[in-house]
Structure 1
Amino acid sequence: MSIAVTDQKMAAHYVSLNPTAKNLYQKFLPGPLTVISTGRHKVARGVESETGTLGVRIPDYSLIIKILKSLGKPITATSANVSYKPRPYSIKQLFANLSKKQQSLIDLIIDAGTLPRRPVSTIVDTTLDDPLILRQGTFHLRGGKLTTNSPSQTTNLAQTLMLKYWNNLQTQPLIFLLIGELGSGKTQFAKGIGKFLQIDETIGSPTYTIVKEYDYQRHQVKGKFIHLDTWRLQTIEELDQLNLLSYLKSKNTLAIEWADRALKPMLDLAQKAKAKIIRVKISAGTSRIQRRITVGR
């Protein structure tokens, strides 16, 4: 969930703005851009994310700015559409996809008529200094190369990416191809996936067991997290014996360490199962705990 504010000064009261965030504010706001920063825990419970981050918008719409100035506080700026339903451009379209219970929760609607069919807003996470594009919209920004400065930041990055692809997971499996040398942080990244999925068990390296399987329930969604390590596999036949295709179902997430050792068969399996693939390449940074991470598809 994000909040709408009047300007950068108001935003700084609710989030910590690093140079990357400030640069985006100055270049693109007000406008269709949501900038995610580390929250200062000054909003109602549930508005900040599970990792303590908060998205901020400065709308390019005079009525909203007037409301914000009159209140002297931000307001939440979540979208009006129901998950997996068409984006509404009028009150009639909105109510067509709301249940009676959902309609009863609405206190006031300001009718601005039929809205123009504009592209969605761009969402950028700036908590790691390097921008991570969570959704491309009107503004097309470059992202994908990131730096984490602690194991906890690597864990948080995994949670952020899980949130980015959470809607995809409802209809297709997710596969994280984790590539990096020994000790680079692949298992640390997998721990972040487990944390997002609210798995209580300790997520450890599956080097000796090859595959570890965890059941999860996040809110009302149930599925499996499969953690695989290909380091000890000697042949493609050994990979076939794991019957990975049986795991590739909607609501299931796979994290595959040393994925570069079996990249082609993994990609073939993913294509067959119509899975969403996220490649994560992790390498050492300039300090013992710093990591350079490239995220792609």
Structure 2
Amino acid sequence: MGKSTELQRCINILKAGGLIVAPSDTVYGLVCDATNEVAVKKLIQVKNRPLGKPISVFSDGFEMLETLVETTRHKEILKRLLPGPFTVILPSKHIVSPLLESERKTLGVRFTTFPWIQKLVHMYGKPLTATSANISGRPPHYEPKGFIDDLPAGKRQLIDHVVDFGKLPHNKPSTIVDLTGSSLQLLRKGDLIPVSEHTFTSNRAQETKKIAAFLIEKYTHTITSKPLVFILEGEMGVGKTVFAKGLGEYLGVVDIVSPTYVIYYEYPVKKGNIKLFLHADLYNIEESEEFSHLGIEDYLTEGTVICVEWGNRMSPLFEKIKEKSKVIFVKMDYKSETHRIISVKEL
């Protein structure tokens, strides 16, 4: 069955109050119309979810999100976290079934970059439930068969359709961020852990790579006519090359090596509108005159992603780069031997 046919079939099921098992950017989920109380009750029955325990919903973008929850005080941080593997908790506007809200009348909302779910929510035109396909208290599932096999026969009959994308990567469920108080609160840690609206924490190389992948995915969605430049700053060994490798792996480049002795390497890319990845290391640049021979400004063209380690040394070129590019400044600091704080700022 083609993807468009599958999407239309799911839409028809959702309109009829059906319940679907579907893939997401994290785990397989249980999806129904979040405004249909009969469908929501069926979902709660399948999950054995205690009444009063909230369930999050998918939005297809900021416009829908603003109809579901109060966003006035938090627009800046929402733009930094979304789209991405985050669930944000905000005061509900009571558009969805009250069974999905918390006792405090808050609602968890997701805005994912997973194309299939994004398209489904957009085509359906209403919020859909965003809860993992598992019985409450049991682990989430990365394959639909495991979930279906886990269900008693009576509950299995409540599932109207399964969208099978095979085995998903073992990403953790989304990070849950409560924005209802005076400061950001983490309720559940996923793969990406924000400690403020500008800052993430990483405890291992793989987490640093996932932060890099999240950022490049987020910002390549927002630019169409400018190159994207990541300027990395941090002490030796803090993980700048690991971050660069995370960018490269997202773009399909797996053999990233540190270009310390040649200043930069360029890698051809075929990822959406991105055609080239340039990875530079300015550690050995000592004189400002040396920049005139590098030619980095020649790469400031549409469809290029540039990552510059020791980017704080590129002040002679900075104004030109800022004028022609979307610049993301990334500062990496040691918190302990394995723990890093990664601060992100748009310039």
Check whether TM > 0.5. Answer: yes
Q: Does 1:278 align with 2:328?
A: yes
- The answer on whether the counterparts of 1:229 and 1:258 sit within 8 Å (CA) in structure 2 is yes
Structure 1: any 5+ residue segments left out of the alignment?
Answer: 15-28, 37-47, 70-75, 80-101, 111-121, 132-141
User: What's 2:48 paired with?
Assistant: none
Q: Which amino acid aligns with 1:205?
A: S
Larger radius of gyration: 2
From 153, 156, 159, the counterpart of 2:213: 159
Aligned-pair CA distance for 1:243: 1.2
Aligned-pair CA distance for 1:230: 0.8
Q: Which amino acid aligns with 1:225?
A: F
User: What's 1:192 paired with?
Assistant: 246
User: What's 1:208 paired with?
Assistant: 261
- The answer on whether the counterparts of 1:279 and 1:295 sit within 8 Å (CA) in structure 2 is yes
Write the mapping of 1:161-176 to structure 2, written as runs, cut at 5 A.
Answer: 161-176=215-230
The DSSP-based 3-state class of the residue aligned with 2:248 is helix
User: What's 1:130 paired with?
Assistant: 194
User: What's 1:232 paired with?
Assistant: 284
Write the mapping of 1:23-62 to structure 2, written as runs, cut at 5 A.
Answer: 31-32=70-71, 53=85, 55=87, 60-62=92-94
- 1: distance between equivalents of 2:303 and 2:284? 27
- 2: distance between equivalents of 1:179 and 1:278? 11
User: What's 1:269 paired with?
Assistant: 320
**Superposed CA offset, 1:234-276 (max 9, x none):** 32222211211111112211111111122x2231221342x11
Aligned-pair CA distance for 1:68: 6.4
User: What's 2:340 paired with?
Assistant: 291
- 2: distance between equivalents of 1:143 and 1:78? 17
Q: Does 1:9 align with 2:60?
A: no
- The answer on whether the counterparts of 1:225 and 1:254 sit within 8 Å (CA) in structure 2 is yes
- The answer on whether the counterparts of 1:178 and 1:258 sit within 8 Å (CA) in structure 2 is yes
Q: Which amino acid aligns with 1:231?
A: Y
- The answer on whether the counterparts of 2:241 and 2:258 sit within 8 Å (CA) in structure 1 is yes
Q: Which amino acid aligns with 2:263?
A: I
**Superposed CA offset, 1:31-68 (max 9, x none):** 447999xxxxxxxxxxx97xxx3546778344422696
Structure 2: any 5+ residue segments left out of the alignment?
Answer: 1-23, 26-30, 35-39, 41-50, 59-67, 102-108, 113-118, 127-178
1:65–1:277 CA distance, 2 compared to 1 (3 A):
same
- 2: distance between equivalents of 1:151 and 1:109? 39
User: What's 1:64 paired with?
Assistant: 96
Aligned-pair CA distance for 1:145: 2.9
- 2: distance between equivalents of 1:153 and 1:8? 33
Percent sequence identity over aligned pairs: 27
- 1: distance between equivalents of 2:328 and 2:212? 11
Q: Does 1:150 align with 2:199?
A: no
**Superposed CA offset, 1:203-243 (max 9, x none):** 1211012111011122x323111000111123222221121
1:57–1:241 CA distance, 2 compared to 1 (3 A):
same
TM-score (norm 1): 0.58
- The answer on whether the counterparts of 1:187 and 1:257 sit within 8 Å (CA) in structure 2 is yes
- 2: distance between equivalents of 1:8 and 1:270? 52
User: What's 1:24 paired with?
Assistant: none
- 1: distance between equivalents of 2:198 and 2:111? 25
